[in-house]
Amino acid sequence: MKSKSKKICLLFAGGTTVLDKDIRGSTVYGPGDIPGWLALAPEVSLMAQIEPVFVAADNELIGAPLWQKISQEIYRRLNDFDGFVVLTDLDSVLYAGTALSFALRNINKPVILTSSQITEANVKLPDWLAKKAKAYGGLGVKANLINAVQLATMNLPAVALMFGNRIIRAVKAQRSGFLGLNIFKSADESYLGRIDFSISLTEKFKNIPAPVVLKNGFETNISIHHYFPGADLQDLNRQKIRGRLLQGLTDIDLLKSYKSLTPLIVYNRFLFDVPDQENILIINNMTWETCLVKFMWALSQSKRLAEVRGFMFNEHADEFIL
């Protein structure tokens, strides 16, 4: 049933393909494609008043520029809509959702992200038809979109992913499959809700008294390293950048040779040592994707090491996991 009192903003930023038999004809490449695209999902307009906003086509914007554009479009429309649904490509949706969680401080309305799994490359897979049948329609964007719009009309002041029958806080989501119905899971098995015959939310949300603030800077001048036994950690001292992330290190003593003043994140969910150096930060209480995006965000908020540490060690978007 259409809720005439609910206005939902639908942002197009990739990941829009509806039909695997007509990819070109069922994908939004520009604003002119939107009316025909909405006609392929008429159920959406029966659920709420929909206003479409074109942000970008697939791969037109990636990374921080995409996150910043989406967050700006949402922020400037906050007072005009009851909720927001964001479509973006499958490779970007998790990072975009995480970025929005930090960029839109004190978000007080639903921001729901989803995507289509139909791409020209995927349709050419030899087992595409088998995967499509197994997913019960979950590969296209239509089923997820309908649920996402319904979610956006509910009391859910959070940034969340809507895939299959799971509603996941973006900062706790992890990719768990290549193609299928539920390709994301919660890192700590906590879900905002599930979908059976209807949508059931598992949390009761209170109104956030603080105003929403846009802080959508993300530092891209960083380097990412993966440790393996025998890796030369001297490389960590060579590049002049704003921040470094090292994944997989298990022995903090191996970083005694780290002489750079650049902040270094050591990401390991099973490492609990306390390093002697203030510029070495061990992160073990969030997903890797959230750690990366949060570090980019923290570096953009301040150039002072103490403040960057404060941002990383304090919870901002319910991102901490056990």
Maximum pairwise Cα distance, the chain:
64
Please give the DSSP secondary-structure letter assigned to residue 187: T
The pLDDT, as a whole number, for residue 137 is 64
261 within some domain: yes
Copy the structure tokens of residue 291. Answer: 């750690």
Choose the final residue of a domain: 214, 241, 258: 214
Same domain assignment for residues 152 and 177? yes
Among candidate residues 159, 160, 172, 192, the one with its CA nearest the CA of residue 288: 172
Answer yes or no: do 168 and 203 share one domain: yes
Count of domains for the chain: 2
Q: Is residue 255 part of a domain?
A: yes
CATH no. for residue 287? 3.40.50.40
Choosing from 214, 241, 263, the residue where a domain stops is 214
Whole-angstrom distance, CA of residue 10 vs CA of residue 51: 6
**Higher pLDDT pick, 140 / 111:** 111
Position 317 scores a pLDDT of 94
Residues 62 and 95 in one domain: yes
Q: In what order do the strands lie in the sheet with 111-114?
A: 48-54, 3-13, 83-88, 111-114, 159-163, 166-169, 193-195, 199-201
Question: Is pLDDT of 238 > 80?
Answer: no
Domain presence at residue 320: no
Query: Does one domain contain both 103 and 124?
Result: yes
The structure tokens 């906003």 sit at 53
Instruction: Please indicate, yes or no, whether residues 177 and 87 belong to a single structural domain of this protein.
Output: yes
Q: Given a cut of 50, is residue 102 above it in pLDDT? A: yes
pLDDT tens per residue across span 21-75:
999 999 999 999 999 999 999 999 999 999 999 999 998 999 999 999 999 999 9
Find the helix packing angle between 90-103 and 64-75, rounded to 10°. 60
Q: Tell me: the pLDDT tens digits for 288-301?
A: 999 999 999 999 99
Q: What is the pLDDT of residue 305?
A: 95
Task: Give residue 1's pLDDT.
Answer: 45
pLDDT tens by residue, 113-160: 999 999 888 899 998 888 887 776 667 788 899 999 999 999 999 999
> Quick one: pLDDT band at residue 200, thresholds 50, 70, 90?
confident
Residues 200 and 81 in one domain: yes
Answer yes or no: is 294 within a domain.
yes
Q: Is residue 156 part of a domain?
A: yes
pLDDT at 4: 58
Together in a domain, 128 and 275:
no
SS3 track for 61-101: CCCHHHHHHHHHHHHCCHHHCCEEEEEECHHHHHHHHHHHH
Q: Is residue 85 part of a domain?
A: yes
**Is residue 126 within 8 Å of residue 23, measured between CB atoms?**
no
The radius of gyration of the chain's CA atoms, rounded to the nearest angstrom, is 21
**Are 21 and 170 part of one and the same domain?**
yes
* Domain identity same for 207 and 226: no
Both 257 and 189 in a single domain?
no
pLDDT, residue 127, reads 86
In-domain check, residue 319:
no
Q: 153 and 115, same structural domain?
A: yes
69 and 188, same domain (yes or no):
yes
The last residue of a domain, from among 214, 243, 274: 214
Provide the residue range defining the domain that includes 31. Answer: 3-214
Q: Quick check: is 134 in a domain?
A: yes
- pLDDT exceeds 60 at position 3: no
Q: Give 258-315 pLDDT, tens digit per residue.
A: 888 899 999 999 988 888 899 999 999 999 999 999 999 999 999 999 999 999 999 9
Band of pLDDT at residue 2, cut at 50, 70 and 90 = very low
pLDDT (tens digit per residue) in 211-227: 999 999 999 999 999 99
